Amino acid sequence: MPSLSASWTASIAEGKVATVPLSTWAVAIIKNANQDLAGKWGVMPWPIWAGQEVSYCGAFGGSAYALPKGVANPDEAIKLAEYMTTDPVALKNCAVDQGVPAYLPGLEHMAFNEPDEFYGGQVLMDVYYEPDLPPFYKLHTSDALEVATPEIQAYMEGQKSAADAWKAVEAGLIAKGY
């Protein structure tokens, strides 16, 4: 089932999803669509593979604001982007609806640094923001999904432990040259 689809969101509410390896914006989607699961979900950092000191995993992408060429009111659009990335009310809304702001100084807003009861009281920024990121290492998503999907399925069906599934994913990625 496609991530972020109505059936995917429903499967979370039905308890059919054990893990969601997505970027930080997914925390807002999961939380907003499943308020009755408060305290039953948590966030965790990406795994650190054997022999590594830091995680080279992650969801690629990011947030940005852009103006299309020929926009009718570019000055007003820039003011809107500035408001959305610096205003305390807008940053609070971002924390509720998006997870992480596009403008890094916005991370200092208290909304991003308070315990989140939906996620068991975790301070999400303490879990998924690392100011000293390792060098960028690109893993093709299709390769990762090809390796990880059957292992996660085996875990979900009780055929493997979580530890054995992760070991198999690691071995599969290494076999692909990662």
In a domain, 44, yes or no: no
In a domain, 26, yes or no: no
The alpha-helical segments, DSSP class H, found in 98-161 are 124-128, 141-156
Q: Give the predicted TM-score (pTM) of the model.
A: 0.60
In a domain, 147, yes or no: yes
DSSP state letter for 122: B
In a domain, 107, yes or no: no
Give 116's strand partners. Answer: 122
In a domain, 91, yes or no: no
Task: Specify the 3-state DSSP secondary structure of 62.
Answer: coil
In a domain, 123, yes or no: no
How many domains is the chain built from? 1
Task: Specify the 3-state DSSP secondary structure of 116.
Answer: strand
Distance CA 43, CA 123 (A): 9
Give per-residue pLDDT as tens, 12-67: 888 888 888 777 778 888 888 889 999 999 888 777 778 877 766 666 555 667 78
In a domain, 163, yes or no: yes
Residue ranges making up the domain that contains 163: 139-178
In a domain, 45, yes or no: no
- Structure confidence at residue 96 (pLDDT): 67
Residues 6+ apart with CB under 8 A from 127: 43, 44, 45
Mean pLDDT of 71-96: 84
